[in-house]
Structure 1
């Protein structure tokens, strides 16, 4: 039985840094041993939900610049799974969700930096799924609902991203989070814990500092 996880990938540096968070990721990987991994990455956006569908080894995508050379030397050599991709397609179509397939896209840093810390051997098949930024929160929830039951098949589902993402407001030398970011994050957590879907579906209007926390 596998859970569904929402994990922050943050900076690509998490692939090489030793922090409380990277040690937490290592512990997650030691705790959960799935037969396959399905990961939604915030760094793959598309107008139609798209599934990586090849059985081949993924290319490691370095979709960042200005970082230490050792980051660009990491190769996360996981393979895909057309079988798992087919299962996903069926689940989505049963919910009336259209999908496309992509046979060539590699793993971007929203995927491989996390997986490198959790499963460094890269010996678990991975299927990457794009995010459609044009959908409402309610429509996004429907996508998640379609995947209900994967955990019972020992398939680990990961959402990779962050709740607060405003690089223009980032103060690189500041070590404590901004009050507005904490208030937004706390609001999301509170309403998730209360399963208040109506509030969450309208987070852009209801959550404090929503446009500052997640500018589009």
Structure 2
């Protein structure tokens, strides 16, 4: 069984930097050997859940601007898998989840910046799935639950986002952690470890500083999908750090 993960993708600069976090990703990839990877990425938002269903090599998307030229030269030439995409589509349909497929979209930076460090050879099939961050948290968990059996087929379900993601409040000169960001993550960890689904589903009401930490939900939703796809009795934090004052690199294994 391969347990689902929620990993922070942070800044695109991660792709060309060596850091404590990228070293962690390198080690994590060496310890997990999936036969395929399903990525729910914060950077693909659609009204209807959409699955990349091509067998071709993906284009590498540069869905950002203003970064060093070196970043725009990186390629992550992973292939898709129409067979696994069809398997996922059928599981969603059986769970009454609206879904469609896509044959042309490339890998966005929510996917390839992580996979480049996890699996640098790009030799594992990748199926990228969109999110609709306007849906209730209970529905996000249902999406994950629909595909939880993939863990028994050695398929890694990966949610890519950030628990605290407010680019208006990042501080490029900061060497400290903003207390509000830490307090939000502390609350999130406690509720996840206690499997308090009611509190998590109503995090905007109960979590401290929720509107600061999550001005829009697209970067948090992949966490709830990964949580929903888990069999684990004890979800656990596998990495935690911060950059720019409040950009969270909190990661979970479910």
Give the TM-score band, short-chain normalised: over 0.9
Separation in structure 1 between the aligned mates of residue 108 and residue 167 of structure 2, nearest angstrom: 19
1:110-142 deviation digits (Å, cap 9, x = unpaired): 000000001011000000000101101111110
The question of 1:181 aligning with 2:181 is answered yes
Separation in structure 2 between the aligned mates of residue 119 and residue 65 of structure 1, nearest angstrom: 25
Size of the aligned set, in residue pairs, is 216
Question: Hey, what does 2:108 align to over in structure 1?
Answer: 108
RMSD value, Cα: 0.7
Separation in structure 2 between the aligned mates of residue 154 and residue 167 of structure 1, nearest angstrom: 35
Shift of 1:65: 1.1
Q: Secondary structure at the match of 1:37?
A: strand
Give TM-score scaled by structure 2 length: 0.84
Question: Hey, what does 1:84 align to over in structure 2?
Answer: 84
Shift of 1:147: 1.1
Map 1:116-131 → 2, pairs under 5 A: 116-131=116-131
The question of 1:15 aligning with 2:8 is answered no
Question: Hey, what does 1:142 align to over in structure 2?
Answer: 142
Separation in structure 2 between the aligned mates of residue 48 and residue 137 of structure 1, nearest angstrom: 16
Shift of 1:151: 1.1
**Residues 157-166 or 61-70, more deviating:** 61-70
Unaligned runs of 5+ in 2: 217-254
Separation in structure 2 between the aligned mates of residue 106 and residue 131 of structure 1, nearest angstrom: 15
1:81-126 deviation digits (Å, cap 9, x = unpaired): 0000001011111111010111000000000000000101100000
Shift of 1:3: 1.0
Unaligned runs of 5+ in 1: none
Shift of 1:48: 0.6
Shift of 1:80: 0.3
Separation in structure 2 between the aligned mates of residue 147 and residue 203 of structure 1, nearest angstrom: 24
Shift of 1:68: 1.4
Separation in structure 2 between the aligned mates of residue 147 and residue 176 of structure 1, nearest angstrom: 39
Question: Hey, what does 1:4 align to over in structure 2?
Answer: 4
Separation in structure 1 between the aligned mates of residue 14 and residue 175 of structure 2, nearest angstrom: 17
Map 1:151-190 → 2, pairs under 5 A: 151-190=151-190
Separation in structure 2 between the aligned mates of residue 94 and residue 178 of structure 1, nearest angstrom: 44
**Residues 52-61 or 169-178, more deviating:** 169-178
